Structure 1
């Protein structure tokens, strides 16, 4: 079996000041469920992680009680990320990067494409939070350009503080800010379902909240009007036709991830991140075949039709 290092997924979390990025980080930490995470924070102030999660602090590094680590992005961005992956990569399952509220996530996306990092990690998604309790229309000049870039770069947009939404804010966003095919999820207190961030292509997505989820008032994907669909095939798939099919899927399908078996016996990990369909070698799976998982907006997704289209590409 190939002994190449496993590529670690990276989720970039962006959004303007006060949109709820740190609240989302804390929520994901609380629902890590044994996953080993690293949280890298690129911000002006001190790390702002809930105190009950902290077990030990060093300069620029916090050890968390659930086995995660949190650190500041100090110095040059690429070297900071590479240093983390070299020193702790074998003990990590996922990396979260919280951008400063006044930074463009496109810079982080660009850095993750450096050859020195692509061997160790890959972009899983860019999430941009938008505060529904504030209007963006008054933003002008460089600030307006920054907000537009934060929104345009997002794999999906988290419309946060839905319980405090301004009257007419949705129409304002749709008319002036959101791209036509923007993938949008509404949350209160940034309670994004953790399975949208921490899920594997070789495991089913559960729609049923656990007892722990209930204690923490966890919002599941079904409560957000979302559903999941899994597709499995033991044989090979036509890679070119599959790519064309997935590229043409509607924006209502928010998440695509899986492992694809090709006719030449290669396996590829496949996902849609930052609006692009991406593949990479997947040499660490013993079971041949294809498994794909989709998450989408229930009312707009025709899962049976998708299943028929996928079956037509099997060999």
Structure 2
């Protein structure tokens, strides 16, 4: 049986850039998604935890220190264990780090975690549009430039010039949740959920709506070319999801590895796993989600990944370019 995994998204940035505003916006517009939050306060009073308590499905507060001060992976794993366990039933965990935390260390700690239920969902760096930290932009899978209401969209250009991942502009932290996670349809309770009550009371807080581009192919995609496309962080694309057939079954080290893979990305953070049998396909079915998307360019990039009759036969290890991002090597 395959382990149920929960993506853990790290939200980092300097003090006052709008991290809590972004997390609160996600919680208020969860649309059925069950979100757990780890709030990393620095100081004796858990102010950040107070700001999100009651809005999240689950909140864990880490007082008196930064996550970057946790020197072993077990420290972070212990904090996340309850949130990512199947019993919790969460769809997403967001770690809002103190403004004093070092993003590189946050990523290292999560990637070193041995919890089979927690998977790296990407580093989201929140930057101040008026004075963006370009070093954070270079590290992040997704960069959120907050404060466009004060500085204008031109503030994005400087960040895009150096960012390795996707770049999105916001005001007041209003990031469309669709850029991170899909809505989940669950039976509606007789009593309104807190996010629904908040929307009724406050009204919808406008955000830059996500766009989508669909791509289908009746032929398999070349694993190497597809991996290069995903790793390049196509302009405007924040998420990619779908299923893909590749010509080779996965290469050495994967017994009876499948040919069809489920693909999920957030910025440059890539996750693949064997597709459920009901999602079998002869080629590819992908959806790209982001803002200001160049649809012709994206379609051209994916079309170039399609295997043609003129392509040489794949080597034994050809699929490893993609399957090295596999996340479900453990069973339970």
Structure 1, unpaired ranges of 5+: 55-63, 137-146, 201-209
Q: 2:121 aligns with which of 117, 120, 124?
A: 124
The 2-side partners of 1:75 and 1:253 are apart by 33
Q: How many residues were matched structurally?
A: 275
Root-mean-square deviation (CA, aligned residues, Å) is: 3.7
2:138–2:164 contact (8 Å) kept in structure 1: no
Q: Secondary structure at the match of 2:114?
A: helix
The 2-side partners of 1:236 and 1:32 are apart by 35
2:237–2:291 contact (8 Å) kept in structure 1: yes
Is residue 69 from structure 1 mapped to residue 67 from structure 2 by the alignment?
no
Instruction: Please list the CA deviations of residues 91-127 of structure 1 after superposition, one character each: whole Å capped at 9, or x if unmatched.
Output: 221110111112211111112222613x322222211
Instruction: Please list the CA deviations of residues 161-196 of structure 1 after superposition, one character each: whole Å capped at 9, or x if unmatched.
Output: 211228x9838x728x95066632211110000101
Give the 5 Å matches for 1:97-108: 97-108=95-106
Q: Secondary structure at the match of 2:172?
A: coil
The 2-side partners of 1:249 and 1:85 are apart by 28
Matched with 1:25 is: 23
Is residue 217 from structure 1 mapped to residue 214 from structure 2 by the alignment?
no
Q: Secondary structure at the match of 1:281?
A: strand
Is residue 36 from structure 1 mapped to residue 34 from structure 2 by the alignment?
yes
How far is the alpha carbon of 1:31 from its aligned partner? 1.3
Matched with 1:140 is: none
How far is the alpha carbon of 1:24 from its aligned partner? 0.8
The 1-side partners of 2:77 and 2:71 are apart by 10
2:239–2:267 contact (8 Å) kept in structure 1: no
Structure 2, unpaired ranges of 5+: 184-195, 250-257, 310-332
Matched with 1:269 is: 262
Q: Secondary structure at the match of 1:81?
A: helix
Is residue 170 from structure 1 mapped to residue 168 from structure 2 by the alignment?
no
Give the 5 Å matches for 1:183-222: 183-199=166-182, 212=199, 215-221=203-209
How far is the alpha carbon of 1:300 from its aligned partner? 3.5
How far is the alpha carbon of 1:26 from its aligned partner? 0.9
- Calculate the TM-score normalised by the size of structure 2: 0.68
The 2-side partners of 1:274 and 1:219 are apart by 19
Q: 2:274 aligns with which of 271, 282, 288?
A: 282
The 1-side partners of 2:146 and 2:181 are apart by 20
Shift in alpha-carbon separation, 1:13–1:86, aligned structure 2, 3 A: closer
- Calculate the TM-score normalised by the size of structure 1: 0.71
How far is the alpha carbon of 1:303 from its aligned partner? 5.8
How far is the alpha carbon of 1:306 from its aligned partner? 3.3
The 1-side partners of 2:303 and 2:275 are apart by 27
Instruction: Please list the CA deviations of residues 21-49 of structure 1 after superposition, one character each: whole Å capped at 9, or x if unmatched.
Output: 01111111111223222111223041424
The 1-side partners of 2:96 and 2:277 are apart by 31
Matched with 2:240 is: 256
Q: Secondary structure at the match of 1:35?
A: coil
The 2-side partners of 1:17 and 1:65 are apart by 21
2:234–2:298 contact (8 Å) kept in structure 1: no
Instruction: Please list the CA deviations of residues 212-270 of structure 1 after superposition, one character each: whole Å capped at 9, or x if unmatched.
Output: 5992223242xxxx521123457744323322444456333332233323344343332
